[in-house]
Each structure stands twice: as C-alpha cells, then as structure tokens.
Chain A
Amino acid sequence: MEKLLEVEDLTKTFTLGSVLSRVKITAVDDISFYIKPAEIFALAGESGCGKTTTARIIMGFDHASAGTIIHGGKKEAKNEKVWFTEGIQAIFQDPFGTFNPLREVERYFFETIQNYKLAKSKQEAIARIDAKLRLVGLTYEDLAGKYPSEFSGGQLQRISIARALLTDPKLIIADEPVSMVDASLRMSIVNLFKKLRDELGVSVLYITHDLATAYYVCDRIAIMFRGDIVEMGTVEQVLMTPKHPYTQLLRASIPEADTSRRWQGEIKLSDTETDEYLRQGCRFAGRCPLVMDVCRTTTPPDVIVEGAHVSCHLYADYANS
C-alpha cells in the first residue's frame, strides 16, 4: 500500500516546573500512523491530547524527542525548506491570525510564488494565484489590495487554503480549521477538503476536536487521549461502533442537534490535567467506567478489533487471534 506520510513511534516530552520539582510530561507517547494519498485522515481528541504537538512536529515547527516521520520515502531533516516544497502545507485554526493584519493578504501569495520560484513573470504569478483562488470560490480581484480585516473568517480560511495550494502540495495539515469559523460557514470549508481530495488528489491531516465534522468529511480517524492513540480505523468503525471506553464517552458527549437525543445520565470529569499524563498503565483508568485492576498497572496492548486499532485491556483476547 502506498503511504504518503508515515509517522513511526513519535514521542515528544516536555519538562514542566522549576529546577527543584521537575515534571516530565509526555505530550505524544510513541504513536504511529500513516496517511494514504487522496485521503482525509483525522487526528481527533480533546485539548491536551497531543494532536497539535503532533501536527507541529510534522510541519517542522517542533522537533520530536524520538521517532521518525517519512514523507515520500524520505525522512524529515531538521530546518529544511525542501520538506515543504515537496508537498506539505498547512492551514491554521484562527483565520484572523493566519495573516498579518498590517499587511495586504496578497503579499503572502506573491511571496510564496517568489520563494518557491513558481512563476516567471507577474502575469504568470497572478494567473496562478487566480487559479488557486477559484478552487476555493474566490478570484484574484476579490483579494487584490485588501487587508485581512476586510474579509470574514470563512473567507480568510478559504484564502488560507488557496495559499497553501500554491505549491501544489500532496498533503495539507489543517489544525482545527473550522473551530473558529461561524457555524453557518463551516460546511463551506469542510466541503472544500472533500473537493481537494476528490478533484486534486490532495490528502488532508484534519486535526480536530469536532467528531461530527470528522465523521462527515474524513476517511479514517485516530482518537488521541493524553498522548496516546487509543483507537484508529475508518470513521464508520471508530465513530459508529466505538470500542474504546474513551471513544464511547467522547462520542456520547457530543451535543447532537437533535432534541430527541438529549444527554442522559451523569459523567465523571477529571479534576486536573497533569495527573492523567503521569498515570501508570492506562491513562484513562481514572475515569473509565469499566476499569479493571490491570489497567492501573500495565500499559494496554494495541490490538485489532473488527478492523480497528484499539489500545485497551478490555480487548486483550484479540491480541492472540
């Protein structure tokens, strides 16, 4: 099977606290996953689960403590621009922060073209910019001479995607791309990812906490919890028949826009965040309704249950089969 991007045993640790009381936090703990060409892959989880750290490492804004990232058969090299030109671009969460408010938006487009030598003349550059903007439903005229404050959040996010497309990337990393876009405009962005996948064969690493849009747009999904991938598979497998108790809790906690499906029952919340990172064994053990003794002492194995990867002691029987 062809793999566009492969992440192997990626680990990232941070040290918190002062000299005297150092606490080592494993933000990303030995995770592995891959992304196929023309696929939308979701890395989902709550804040502090390590999904953004993973994205930062793939984008080259942060360095891994251990593990490798392989893209197009090549390992990542530190501080190398080639990494991006060979096909990884990114869009960010805050559309209003993506562009410097004191600069015209189009300058980022011209700079990208200039830096990657994508056009020989200004006409050619404008033609390329216009073509990419048309993919997201805008034109160069809409953009020319304007500042970020003259656009809505939804427009800026589309402009951001158009800029990312300038270099004809194979993979776009989208870190919470719709969480700050208005509900009424969210689908226009999400639908764009589908269009990019289907028409241009671009893959998207979709980082999100919003499982409903992930279900709508993605092919496969990995659920992260406190640095671990606890469940991974197709969105149908993971979100429609969740195996891991955490995925089940997450799935049940999503407020659905359906008055007949209001929440029932009570849930247990964690009191503080650092406790769970430092927990031995399964990090979810403190809140898991199905917790067993083994969960508190041993790290759960990674097993395949009905086609999905699950990291939970409940499914230990599957390890041998």
Chain B
Amino acid sequence: MEEIILKTEGLKAFYVLDVYGKQKTVKAVNDVDLAIRENEIYGIAGESGCGKTTLLKTLAAAMEPPLRIVDGRVCYHIAGADVDVSTLSQEEIRRLRLEYIAYVPQGSMSVLNPVARIKDTYRDFIESHISTQQRDEAFLLAKEHIVELGLPPKILDAYPHQLSGGMRQRVTIALATLLKPRIIIGDEPTTALDVVVQRGVVQLLKDVQRKLQNTIILVTHDMGVHANIADRIGIMYAGKIVEEGSTDKIFGDPEHPYTQYLINSLPKFGDKTPRESVPGSPPSLANLPPGCPFHPRCPHVKEICKQEMPGFTQVESNHKVACWLVGEGEHGKAA
C-alpha cells in the first residue's frame, strides 16, 4: 500500500460568527478523520452546504477567520516526516501552498488575469516561484508542459476571454501543475462546464495524475465524475464523513442509507424505473440535530441514532461506514 501523504485526525473546523450580538457556530467540518495516500485520486462527495469546501480549505491550509480549527489536526507527509500544519509559520504555509499543493477552483476566470495574455500569466507565475537563473529554462518547460497536456501552444498568445470555458479550465490546471505538486486539490473543477468539456477536463486531470504519480483530492457533487475518476470516495454529510470506500464499493455496495439514496437516485440510460430523492432537506450546519445528523431523514432510524453519533465500522479492508445499522457493537473501536 502506498504511503499516506495527508491525514486529518479528529478535525473540527468551525465558523464562529457574531451576528448583531448573537453568537452563531457553523460546524462545517465536524470530527473528520482522513488518510489520503500517495498516487491516488480521492473523491469527496456531498451536497452543497455539507462542509466539503471548508474541508478543502483546511486541507489546503487556506483558512481565514471566522473559520478556525477548533480541534484535531491536519498533517502532511513531506520528505519522510509528518508536518502538522498548525506548527508552520505563515511563510512556510505560503511556500507549502505554492510548491507542494496546487489548488484548482471552480471558476477559472479568477485565476487568470483577464487583461494579460496566457503567456504573461505563466511568466508571472514562473517568476514568483523560480529563481532568476532558471527562468528561461522554466518558460521553455512551460511550453513543453502545455504541449504534453495536449493543449495547443497557440493558446499562450491568447487572452482568457478568447478561450472557451473548458480551455480556460484546462489552462488553469496546466498552470497549477507546472511545478509538479504532490497534491492537487480540485474544488468542483468541472461543475460549470458542459459535459463534453467536462470529459476533457477529467481526462486531463487523469493524465496529469498518471504522469506525476501524485495525489488528487477532488470535490464534486457529480457522482458520475466520481465514478469515472476516483479511486476512493468519501461521502460527506453535515460536516462528517459518513462512508468511505473504494469507488467500486461505494457504487456497487453502499452501506450508509444516505449513500444508498445518493447512488440510487441517479438516473441511468435505458432504465426508466421511478427513482426517489432523499426525503427532507439537509440540516443547517449552524443547527445540527443531535446524534447522527442524518437521522431526521433516515427511513431506518432507531432510538440510538437520535442520541449518539456512530463511530466507523470497518465493513471490509477498504470500506468503512458510520451508521448504527451496520455492524452493531463495533462502533467507536474500528476506524
């Protein structure tokens, strides 16, 4: 098994807001244990407002008040040693984020300077990251990199608005992966794109991962994308990971009622059997129900679900679930 490159232990990251005298705590990441390995594509799936973007922010060490880590820690495995993010200085975090982690956001317009040619954006990027002696070499490298990723080199002379949305997103990915980061974090990188373009972007991400043998953490609500690209998937609900397993397990044999609903509600071609949504609405992270946060919507709810959050049950070596219905009595010990 590959080495673990990024892990969180009991991570709790809350937004503490003060709204006209009323204190409000948004429990966006609530006790999350992750262990993400080298050379894998790890998918995080969940609906909007489940805390997945916040989780990414803490993973990328890009937290800003009012978001705070309340408990637990985020650890990187850099050059054979575990590094706790909270012990790093601002400067070290900055360097870490530039060279070790790459971040691909949903909209690419915010990354690319709208009034500069792509080539100038590349130059700025290279100049801020690489010492002067290597610059010319680096720029050649950038060109090579673009060709390698299957993008036409002429795009270097274009302005962002002249490119299609899909091309912009691929340019952003190319830019983000120029320095061969060990971890690429994608926050809904394909969401605003058309299906054909989305396929191209996913294809590109896969290629990059294969070439660099690095780790991609991909957040998207589109289960189809996860099915296509992810090696392992974590299902997030109300600030918690409720199920984690290999992609085949999650799609073929989901254990958590929420995951089951999520998978079964997806329409398939050639199959018009009626499909049902999860009943009810997702809870507000500022006002979570007690016990398992899914219990108000769960069709199999039991008394204990309303009182206590279940721990993980290891269903198989590569599949764990946090649900009282699964493997009773083993809760809290496994994981």
A and B touch in the complex (CB under 8 A): yes
Residues of B within 8 A of A211 (CB): 195, 269
Contact B199 A213 (CB under 8 A): no
Q: How far is the CA of A155 from the CA of B284 in the complex (A)?
A: 14
**CB of A200 within 8 Å of the partner chain:** no
Structural contact, A215 and B225, CB atoms closer than 8 A: no
* Cα–Cα distance between A190 and B277 once the two chains are bound (Å): 10
Instruction: Say whether A290 faces chain B, with CB atoms less than 8 Å apart.
Output: no
Residues of chain A contacted by B262 (CB below 8 angstroms): 183-184
Contact present for B198 and A253 (CB under 8 Å):
yes
Closest to A256 in B: B224
Smallest beta-carbon distance B204→chain A, Å: 10
A152-186 vs B, Cβ < 8 Å mask (1 yes, 0 no): 11110000000000000000000000000011111
Q: Is A299 an interface residue (CB 8 A)?
A: no
Q: How far is the CA of A185 from the CA of B167 in the complex (A)?
A: 31
- CA–CA, A45 to B103, complex, Å? 30
Chain A positions 234-289 with a Cβ under 8 Å from a chain B Cβ: 239-240, 249-251, 253-259, 262-263, 266-267, 269-273
Taking CB as reference atom, which chain B residue is nearest A137?
B279
Least Cβ–Cβ distance between B170 and chain A, in angstroms: 8
Known: A155-B281, A212-B266, A215-B269. A255 touches B227 (CB 8 A): yes
Determine the residue in chain A with the shortest Cβ distance to B201.
A269
Kindly state whether residue A98 has any CB partner on chain B within 8 Å. Answer: no
Q: Give A46 to B200 CA distance when docked, in angstroms.
A: 14
Q: Which residues of A contact B263 (CB under 8 A)?
A: 257
Contact of B203 among A188, A189, A190, A266 (CB under 8 A): A266
Q: A184-B261, A184-B277, A269-B164 are in contact. Are A254 and B272 (CB under 8 A)?
A: no
Known: A216-B275, A262-B228. A46 touches B195 (CB 8 A): yes
Q: Is A209 interfacial (CB-CB < 8 Å)? A: yes
Say which residue of B152, B252, B278 sits within 8 Å of A271 (CB atoms).
B152
Known A185-B281, A258-B227, A259-B252: A253·B267 in contact at CB below 8 Å: no
Does chain B have a CB within 8 A of A187?
yes
| A183 in contact with B282 given A257-B251, A262-B227 (CB within 8 Å) | no
Q: Do the beta carbons of A258 and B251 come within 8 Å of each other?
A: yes
Residues of A within 8 A of B225 (CB): 255
Residues of B within 8 A of A155 (CB): 281
Let me know if B71 is at the binding interface, CB within 8 A.
Answer: no
A240 adjacent to B270 (CB under 8 Å) = yes
Known: A267-B200, A271-B155. A184 touches B195 (CB 8 A): no
In the complex the two chains form, what is the Cα distance from A221 to B222 in whole Å?
23
Check A47 for interface membership: any CB of B closer than 8 A.
yes
A271, B164: Cβ atoms closer than 8 Å: yes
Interface size range of chain B in the complex: 35 or more
Contact with B along A33-52 (1 / 0, CB 8 A): 00000000000001100000
Q: Does B223 make an interface contact (CB < 8 A)?
A: yes
Nearest B-chain residue to A180, judged by Cβ: B48
Q: B99 in the interface, Cβ–Cβ < 8 Å? A: no
Q: Which residue of A lies closest to B155 (CB)?
A: A271
CB distance from A267 to the nearest CB of B (A): 6
Tell me how far the C-beta of B237 lies from the nearest C-beta in chain A, rounded to whole angstroms.
Answer: 9
Interface residues of B in 172-218 (CB under 8 A from A): 194-200, 202-203
A100 contacts the other chain (CB 8 A): no
A-chain residues with CB within 8 Å of residue B77 when the two chains form the complex: none
Q: Does A114 contact B (CB under 8 A)?
A: no
Cα A239 to Cα B228 in complex, Å, equals: 20
Contact count A vs B, C-beta below 8 Å: 139
Residues of A within 8 A of B281 (CB): 152, 154-155, 185
Q: B248 CB to closest chain A CB, in angstroms?
A: 5
Q: Which residues of A contact B310 (CB under 8 A)?
A: none
Q: Which of A73-126 contact B (CB under 8 A)?
A: none
Once bound together, how far apart are the Cα atoms of A153 and B262, in whole Å? Answer: 17
CA–CA, A215 and B271, complex, Å: 9
Instruction: Contact check, A188 vs B277: say whether CB atoms are below 8 A apart.
Output: yes
Residues of B within 8 A of A209 (CB): 194-195
- B31: CB under 8 A from chain A? no
Q: Is the CB of A257 within 8 A of B223?
A: yes
Q: In the docked arrangement, what's the CA distance between A254 and B266, Å?
A: 12
In the complex, B47 has a CB within 8 A of chain A: yes
Q: Report B-chain residues with C-beta under 8 Å of the C-beta of A187.
A: 265, 267, 275-277
Is A297 interfacial (CB 8 A cutoff)?
no
Q: How far is the CB of A138 from chain B (nearest CB, A)?
A: 11
Determine whether A191 belongs to the interface, using a CB cutoff of 8 Å to chain B.
yes
A256 with B282, Cβ < 8 A, contacts A46-B196, A183-B262, A209-B194 known: no
Q: How far is the CA of A271 from the CA of B150 in the complex (A)?
A: 12
B274 within 8 A of A: yes
B268 adjacent to chain A (CB < 8 Å): yes
Q: Is the CB of B251 within 8 A of A249?
A: no
User: Which of B197, B248, B261 has the largest number of chain A CB atoms within 10 A?
Assistant: B197
Is B335 located at the chain interface by the 8 A CB criterion?
no
CB distance from A11 to the nearest CB of B (A): 23
- Interface presence of B119 (CB below 8 A): no
- Shortest distance between the CB of A139 and any CB in chain B (Å): 15
- A183 lies within 8 A of B47 (CB): yes
Of all chain A residues, which has the CB nearest B247?
A: A259
Chain A residue nearest to B165 in the complex (CB): A47
Q: Which residues of A contact B (CB under 8 A)?
A: 46-47, 152-155, 182-191, 209, 211-213, 215-216, 239-240, 249-251, 253-259, 262-263, 266-267, 269-273
Which B residues contact A (CB, under 8 angstroms)?
A: 47-48, 150, 152, 155, 162-167, 194-200, 202-203, 221-228, 247-248, 251-252, 258, 261-263, 265-270, 272, 274-278, 281-282
User: What are 8 residue pairs bridging A and B, where the CB atoms are less than 8 Å apart in the complex?
Assistant: A212-B224, A216-B275, A253-B196, A255-B198, A257-B263, A263-B199, A271-B163, A272-B163
Sorted from nearest, which 6 A-B pairs have the closest CB atoms? A255-B224, A182-B47, A46-B194, A216-B267, A188-B277, A152-B281
